[in-house]
Each structure stands twice: as C-alpha cells, then as structure tokens.
Structure 1
Amino acid sequence: MTALAGQPVTLDRLQPGVRLRVVQMADAEELAALYGANREYLRPWEPERDDSYFTVEGQLDNLHDLVGAYATEEMWPGVILVDGEIAGRITLNNVLRGPLQSCFVGYWVARAHAGRGVATEALRQALDVAFSALRLHRVEAFTRVDNISSQRVLERNGFTAVGTARRHIHLDGRWHDERLFERLAPWDDGIALTPPA
C-alpha cells in the first residue's frame, strides 16, 4: 500500500474535480477547520469526539495514527478533494488478507458538497483502489438504517444490502441499528483469491 502514498487516484468522473489521495500530516490544519465547520452536521453519523479532536493538535494525533496504520497496511486513509480542496474523508478500514481479502469503507463529505455526487464519485474511486491497487476481493460498509443518502451512494456503486445488525453502533447518545452492504470485486469468479495478472 505504501507505494500509493500521496498519489491521486483519478478516473473518468461522474463528478468533475473529485479525486482522492492518502492523508498527509500536512492536512491537519485543513481537516481541523473542516471538521469544526461540520461538527453539528456530522454529529448523528460520527462517533462522539472530545473537543480536542477538532483542533489542529487533535488532527495531528489522528493523522499520526492513520499514517501509521497505512504504513503497516491495515488501512487506506484518504481525503476527498474537490478542485484541490479537502471536502471530506474516505477510508478503507480493517484490511484483512489471507482467505478474506476484504475491508470496510467509511466516508463523509462536508455539508457544502452534500447531494452533488461527490461521495458517489469518491466511493467509486476508492473501490478502484480496493480492487485494483490493493487487490481486495470484497468491500463492506455499514450505514445507520435511517441514513438513506449514504445507502444511495453505496447502491449507486454496486453494493448489495446483506442484512441489519441490531444496535450495532453507539452514535449521538444511543445505540443504532445498521444495514450491512457488500460489493465484490469485478474480477470475482468464485475461485481466484486475487485478480488475474
């Protein structure tokens, strides 16, 4: 994974100007400002955060952890760029190798970019990273059952709903049910562990 550090992933786009790249320590100030501006908007969907998380120092700590996990190939932590500015985050989490070859995806887009196809395009590009660069076989995602917008983003990218996990995540002060979605690699033939050479 580390060979991809800092390289943008750009494909023919549904939403012009959207691209992804791996997070960098230099993103701390921009991410702190973006998280701060979107704190209330993200509250229903994000884990509870201490006030320090929304500071530059808090983001430096967070980025340090993300860069470390990227270096050990546990995740692919990305930022979503719109016309070169950070507009959100997308992460391929819990990368599992061996017989699973899978990960979970999580993402968010700032309120100013919501409803414009940015998340849909960012996820499309992240799937290219997962299935091509990382050679994974499956990407999974959970969304709160009431997060219809996120479910539409997943469905537009070929994800299939698998089922519902009861009281799966504690967000915004209580436990919530979540729907599990999955997407198999386009090269899946039911036999091969990794894509053909």
Structure 2
Amino acid sequence: MPELLRLHADHAPALLLFEQENRTYFARSIPDRGDDYFSHFDERHEALLAEQEAGLHHFHLLMDVSGVVLGRVNLVDVADGSAELGFRIAESAAGRGLATAAVRRVCAMAAKDYGLTSLRAATTLDNTGSRTVLERTGFVRVGTVELGGRPGIRLLRTLDDERNDTERPSEAPGSP
C-alpha cells in the first residue's frame, strides 16, 4: 500500500525522476513545467522546502514501498484558512483510485493538521481524470479559468465535514 508522506529534502532524487518520467504524460492534460523547472530542480526544491517550513505550502508525495514516487498532492498559497490543491499521479499508477484516496487524505490533513477551512482547485476542461477526482472528493464547480491558454474550471471544497469525520482505512493510501 502506498504511503502519503510530507515532502522532505531527501525526496529530491525520487521526485525529480517522477517529474522527468511523466513529463510528456502530464503535458497532455496540464501546462508543462518547462525546461527551467528541470535545470534548476535542486534550488527550487530547497526553496519550496523553506516555504513549506514557513507554512506557505504543504507538499506531499505518494510513494510505494520501494521509494518510487507514484504521485504528489500539494496545498499551495496557504492564507486565511484556505489553500490551492494540486495533484498529479504517474502514468503507471493512473486508474487505480490512488489519486482519489490521496486527495481525500490530504483534505482531511488540511482540516485536522493544517487548520484550513477550504480548498480551491482548477483543472482544464479536457482533463477528465482530474475533474472526476475533484468531484468525487467533494469539490464543486464555482467558475471558469484559463490554464496555459486552455479553458478550465475552478472548484471549491469546504472542510467543515473533515474536522469531525474519521477516515475509513480503505480510503487512506498510507500514513503521513
């Protein structure tokens, strides 16, 4: 069973490999990170960890028992009890329910561990997988947006129900 772990400095090599191996797959449905992301990965990773330490973001990796990154679920731009949720799952792990389980887990963590009351998300209209995961995990459409020149939707999820719910073991991809 994959584990959901908070991002640490020693995750850098596995995370870079995940991003490199899935770059073409991700670019089919979300804007590409660009070459600069990869050429300055180490510096960017250190900067993001510093921002996480400051409470500006919360980064999570979904890893298998051998340390391979299967996905990531991030909460960015934390402010005023809210954050933007983003996620990506490796092509080799897609279609197995891992994204839905990981997003549910991070929603619970957002409320219980980080004190957030709502999450925002956005996806392109042609990203059926992400739309499905977001809708299955309680996000509702609240508007439209353009992402990398492509039409998309904005979604919102309140976390009031997460403060009192107990997570079912079958929904948890692992322990933080």
1:187 Cα deviation from its structure 2 partner: 4.2
The equivalent position to 1:161 in structure 2, one of 134, 141, 144, is 141
1:110-154 per-residue CA deviation (whole Å, 9 max, x = no partner) reads 100001111111101110111111111111100001111101101
Distance (Å, rounded) in 2 between the aligned partners of 1:111 and 1:141: 21
Distance (Å, rounded) in 2 between the aligned partners of 1:24 and 1:31: 10
The equivalent position to 2:77 in structure 1, one of 70, 94, 103, is 94
1:168-188 per-residue CA deviation (whole Å, 9 max, x = no partner) reads 221xxxx01111111111349
1:16-69 per-residue CA deviation (whole Å, 9 max, x = no partner) reads x1331111111121122222211111113143411x5336xx332221121011
1:71-110 per-residue CA deviation (whole Å, 9 max, x = no partner) reads 111010111123353112111011012xxx1111001011
Structure 2 residue 44 is matched with structure 1 residue 65:
no
Q: Percent identity?
A: 27
Structure 2 residue 93 is matched with structure 1 residue 113:
yes
The equivalent position to 2:34 in structure 1, one of 26, 49, 65, is 49
Distance (Å, rounded) in 1 between the aligned partners of 2:118 and 2:52: 19
Aligned to 2:174: none
The structure with higher relative contact order (CA 8 Å, sep 6+) is 2
Distance (Å, rounded) in 2 between the aligned partners of 1:153 and 1:82: 20
Aligned to 1:10: none
| Distance change >3 Å, CA 92–CA 177, structure 1 → 2 | same
TM-score scaled by structure 2? 0.84
Aligned to 2:167: none
TM-score scaled by structure 1? 0.76
Mind listing any 5+ residue stretches in structure 2 that lack a counterpart?
165-176
| Distance change >3 Å, CA 19–CA 85, structure 1 → 2 | same
Aligned length in residues: 162
Contact 1:19–1:122 under 8 Å retained in 2: no
- The two structures, once aligned, show a CA RMSD in angstroms of 1.9
More helix by share: 2
The equivalent position to 2:108 in structure 1, one of 109, 114, 128, is 128
Q: Which has the larger radius of gyration?
A: 1
